[in-house]
Amino acid sequence: MNTILDNDMVQIYVLSSYANNKLYIGSFKYKYLSMRMAQHKYYFRNTGKLKNNYSSAAVFEEDENAVQIERLHICNSEERKVYEQFYIDYFKELDGFEVVNVNNTSLYHKKKQKEYYQKNRDKKIKVASNYYHKNREMILAKLQNRRDQQKIADLKKQIKHSI
């Protein structure tokens, strides 16, 4: 089933295989699920030829004709990663299915980045401080240039509104 989506709407979908009970949860912004299915088939057929390996290819391994795509949810772009992660977690808890998503959503990555930063905080501060001291003049010049550009833009707005 195809749905007309607003510009800000996203579909959360599941690729599932009858042949191997593997699932892949994804999201995309276009209105036709068939377009996304065609992209996944292309990635599967060209695995090894492409720069990236796609975890969704595992769903197609035993029989690419046994794979179907179904819409799980429609949401706005801001909620995309929340719902995608919800469905990944939900299907991981079900018996009989293997969720093949290698990368979790950006929520997972943000958590990992925060943990990494906390572990390496002192090192990061030292690197940033060294960079600042080496490049202080250039940084200050760029900052002053930005301030000057902002002042000019503000003056143009004032003049435009006063006319």
Domain CATH code at residue 53: 3.40.1440.10
CA distance 11 to 27: 5
Residue 134 belongs to domain spanning: 120-162
The predicted model scores a pTM of 0.61
Residues 151 and 125 in one domain: yes
pLDDT tens profile 41-64: 998 988 766 666 788 888 998 898
In a domain, 115, yes or no: no
| pLDDT digits 0-9 by tens, 80-122 | 888 998 999 899 888 888 999 887 665 556 666 777 778 888 9
- Please say if the pLDDT value at position 2 is more than 70: no
Indicate whether 50 and 86 sit together in one domain. yes
Which of 4, 23, 3, 25 lies closest to 83, judged by CA?
Answer: 25
Please provide the DSSP assignment of 53-65 as one string.
--TTHHHHSS-GG
Do 141 and 98 belong together in one domain? no
